[in-house]
Amino acid sequence: MTMRDVLARSRVVARKQRNPDYELSLNSLSELEARGRVPHIYRLASLAAIYGRPMHALLGLYGAEVARRRKRRK
């Protein structure tokens, strides 16, 4: 997937959420890749949706370990 694909998909996510904070810019995406900057939560949510990954997996890439919930047995 190209950067432009990611940008286009983030626009779709932002429209669906009715919140422009979900949209990634070319500059913000470049900074994430080249400089390892931490995205804010809305952009991280967009990336999770775009790449089909759970949020906790992406949070772990930035050092935020989140305990996954276990399903209860009935």
Summarised one tens digit per residue, pLDDT across range 18-30 is 999 999 999 998 8
13, 42 contact by CB (below 8 A): no
Exposure b/e, 39-54, CB count within 10 A at least 16 = b: beebbbbbbbbbeeee
Domain span at residue 56 reads: 3-61
CA dihedral (44, 49, 47, 26) in degrees, to 10, reads -120
Specify if 35 maps to a domain. yes
Specify if 46 maps to a domain. yes
Domain count, the chain: 1
Specify if 66 maps to a domain. no
Q: How much of the chain exceeds pLDDT 90, in percent?
A: 57
pLDDT at position 71: 64
User: pLDDT tens digit string along 47-58?
Assistant: 999 999 999 999
Specify if 70 maps to a domain. no
Specify if 74 maps to a domain. no
